[in-house]
Amino acid sequence: MSIIWHITSAVAILSTLMVVTRYNPVHALLYLNVSLMSLALLFYLLGAPFAALLEIIVYAGAIMVLFIFVIMLLNLGKETAVQEKKWLKPRVWVGPMALALILLLEIFYLLHTSQQMTGGPYANGRGLGTAVSSRAVALSLFQTYVIGVEMAALLLMAAVVGAAHIGRHKKTNLHRFLNEDHPL
C-alpha cells in the first residue's frame, strides 16, 4: 500500500507543478484534473472512500467541466499563451516561491514531530488509516455538523436565487404587432 501512496503523491505534486507552469489554460486545467484525481486516490488510501469519490464527482466531474466550458467560450488563442509566457518570468516567481517555501518547511517540521509522537507519518497500525463508511459520514454530517450543513445550504440557496435573478428574461418588443400582450 505504501508504494502506491508514494507514487500517487508524486503524481499529485508533479501534476500540480504542471498546472502552474503551463501557458495554455486548457492544458493547465487538464493537469489540475489529474491532480484532483490523484488527491482522490490519496483520500481513498487514507480510508475515506466516500470523500474520494465525491472529490471526483464534484470537482473533477462538474466544477472543472464548467471551468473548461468557460475557457472554451472565451476562445483564447495563441496571444494568451504569449501573454502568459510574459507573465511567468523568473522574477515573478520569487515572492510566491518564498511563501511556499515557508509552508514546506512547516510541513516538514510537523511531519517530523508527529513522526516522533506516533512512530510514522501515517501510522494507524500499519495500514493507511481505518476506512470511514459512508454511513459514518452521513451520521456526522446530519448530527454533529448539522448547523454547518444548514448554513451551507442557505448560502447555496442565496446563490441560486441570485443566479435566477441575473438570468431572468427581459421582455423585448420586436414590433407592436409581435407584442405578446396585444395579440393580433
Which positions touch another protein (CB under 8 A)?
24, 26-27, 30, 33, 49-50, 53-54, 56-57, 60-62, 65-66, 68-69, 72-73, 133-134
Question: Coil, helix or strand for 44?
Answer: helix
- Nearest Cα to 47, choosing from 147, 137, 159, 116? 137
Cα R_g (the chain), whole angstroms: 24
Contacts 24+ apart (CB under 8 A), 148-155: none
- Pairwise CA distance, residues 2 & 46, whole Å: 11
Nearest distance from C-beta of residue 166 to another protein, angstroms: 16
When the beta carbons of 63 and 104 are compared against another protein, the nearer one is 63
Residue 127: beta bridge partners?
124
When the beta carbons of 9 and 24 are compared against another protein, the nearer one is 24
When the beta carbons of 30 and 123 are compared against another protein, the nearer one is 30
Angle between helices 25-45 and 2-21 (to 10 degrees): 160
Q: Cβ contacts of residue 11 below 8 Å, gap of 6+?
A: 34, 38
| Amino acid (1-letter code) at residue 132 | V
Nearest distance from C-beta of residue 120 to another protein, angstroms: 26
Nearest distance from C-beta of residue 71 to another protein, angstroms: 8
24: part of which helix (H) or strand (E)?
none
When the beta carbons of 119 and 167 are compared against another protein, the nearer one is 167
C-alpha cell at 45: 488510501
Nearest distance from C-beta of residue 66 to another protein, angstroms: 7
When the beta carbons of 85 and 112 are compared against another protein, the nearer one is 85
Nearest distance from C-beta of residue 44 to another protein, angstroms: 9
